[in-house]
Structure 1
Amino acid sequence: MPAAEIFIQATETDPDVIARGAVREAHERLLSGLADLTTTQPVAQGSEPRSAELVDFCLHEVRRYLTTADRDLYGPATEDDETRLLADALRVGAAAVNAQIDELATAGSVDAARLGVMIMAALDTQLQIEESVLLPALAGLPGVDPSLLTSGLQAYLAGERVEQSTVIDVRRIARGGRHPRVFARYAGLAPGEAFILVNSHDPKPLRREFEARYRGAFSWDYLQAGPEEWRVRIGRVAVDA
């Protein structure tokens, strides 16, 4: 087995540990930031309200996290019957938090403090479900590598702008992680969008998996068929309204 595929379970090289660590770190950053900005300040001492900072944190930090989680965690979860309802419920919760952020953006300083506390409470529940229910459920799905699903969260933690790659060269991915990476990318596609898969051989086994899981919902077009490199455009079929 290649060295890149070897990990020691329950250590820092275990994919589950990597995923849990990234999710927990992101959650702690959000909740500690909100706790700091919603702490009551003594007006008698002339301290200025921090409502502007709170609005900025929610509009940028919280919303950036929710967008990343929707794509990297909720999206893949909707592709399996066992986790679809859970992902749908989390998306409802995220929509409620976003609605509160909209209200916060136009609120006065007094209402902003109240809304900040409400957002923190709602987000705390959301994040607890992600960490204690969703992530273990995803880890239990066949062929899913949680550390690949949370790569976007790791970029979020690093302050990087998360871009969805339009090309996935699976030759650079360890065996065992290739198909999960491809399916995670497919889950993030909007109807009509596509990405390009690059491989050193004809990915027929992967196509059979797509047929079994997404028959009629995906497109598969060969752009290059060997002899040393195969390129396939894989897309999510747009559904007519």
Structure 2
Amino acid sequence: MPAAEIFIRATETDPDVIARSVVREAHERLRAGLAELTNAHPVAGGDQFASAELVDFCLHELRPYLVAAGRDLYAPAAEAADTRLLVDALRIGSVALNAQIDDLAAAGAVDAFRISVAIAAALNVHLQIEESVLLPALTGMRSVDPSLLAADLRACLAGEQAEESTVIDVRKIARGGRHPRVFARYAGLAAGEAFILVNSHDPKPLRQEFEAIHSGAFSWDYLQTGPEEWRVRIGRVAVDD
């Protein structure tokens, strides 16, 4: 088999490549949808701009993406010191985009066109930062499984509810995906919230990872210590800035 073909096949199944592909596909769908609708600008003396279709697109395509990105991209990246400020900026951008969507929903046809142009411009910058800065950082984090990230993002964009399990039985998760799933669940916790980890052995290596990544920001309480099943309550502790 030619080396080039081997490289292509390996690339197509590489988790990092798959994760980036899922995000970029979502980005392109948003860009294309906004471009198509904003091209139908109003003509003099009329209200021919498709503001209703644009509002529908923003409410049912753009806004769900912002929710999905917040859960599956921003939450895990916010756990790392190197990307925390970046995530803060992206979250501010998401809030601004949501405010513009609200303005769009309340606007007339002419104002809707103006707002849609502003949304498209702001969104383009927002998505470029996700692609060029956030995604490379995410796929390089040891606590993030790119395959899991891609699957969760796909599920959220398909309208499935975010996983908010209070119990995670890692015995049912394939090896290699267990720790990333636990860290992803932790990333979604607010201060004071917790979940229960179930395992067939004492998860000491996982605790060591928590100590290395989230020292002082998590709680770890054994509820059951064998012999066949271990249960640990893992929580997020409020940390003073």
- Return the TM-score normalized by structure 2: 0.86
Q: Which residue of 2 aligns with 1:33?
A: 33
Gaps of 5+ in 1: 1-7
Distance (whole Å) between structure 2 residues aligned to residue 143 and residue 239 of structure 1: 20
Matched, 1:86 2:86: yes
Q: Percent identity?
A: 75
Aligned-pair Cα RMSD in Å: 2.5
Note the C-alpha offset of 1:19: 0.5
Matched with 1:230 is 230
How much has 1:116 moved relative to structure 2?
1.0
Moved more, 156-165 or 86-95: 156-165
**SS class of match (2:232):** strand
Q: Is the 8 A contact 2:42 2:48 kept in 1?
A: no
Please show how residues 105-144 of structure 1 align to structure 2 within 5 Å.
Answer: 105-144=105-144
Does the 8 A contact of 1:55 with 1:104 survive in 2? yes
Give the match for residue 50 of structure 1: 50
Greater fraction of residues in helix: 2
Equivalent-residue separation in structure 1 for 2:13 and 2:23 (angstroms): 16
Deviations 1:103-145 (A, max 9, x none): 2121111111111121111111111111121111111223432
- Separation in 1 of the partners of 2:181 and 2:237? 19
Q: Deviations over 1:32-84 (max 9, x none)?
A: 2212222225758x884321221222123212111111121111111112212
Deviation at 1:27, TM superposition (A): 1.0
- Secondary structure of the equivalent of 2:81? coil
Q: Which letter does structure 2 place at the counterpart of 1:174?
A: A
- Look up the match of 2:177: 177
Which residue of structure 1 lines up, in the alignment, with residue 217 of structure 2?
217
TM-score for both structures, normalised by structure 1: 0.86
> Where does residue 5 of structure 1 map in the other structure?
none
Contact 1:221–1:234 (CA under 8 A) maintained in structure 2: yes
Return 156-165 or 51-60, whichever deviates more: 156-165
**Letter paired with 2:110:** V
The question of whether the paired residues in 2 share the 8 Å contact of 1:198 and 1:230 is answered with yes
Count matched residues: 234
AA aligned to 2:231 is R
SS in 2 for 1:201: coil
User: In 2, distance between residues paired with 1:85 and 1:130?
Assistant: 13
Matched residue SS, 1:216: coil
- SS of the residue aligned with 1:175? coil
Q: Summarize the Cα distance change of 1:63–1:129 in structure 2 as closer, same or farther, 3 Å threshold.
A: same
Contact 1:10–1:17 under 8 Å retained in 2: no
Q: Name the structure 2 match of 1:3.
A: none
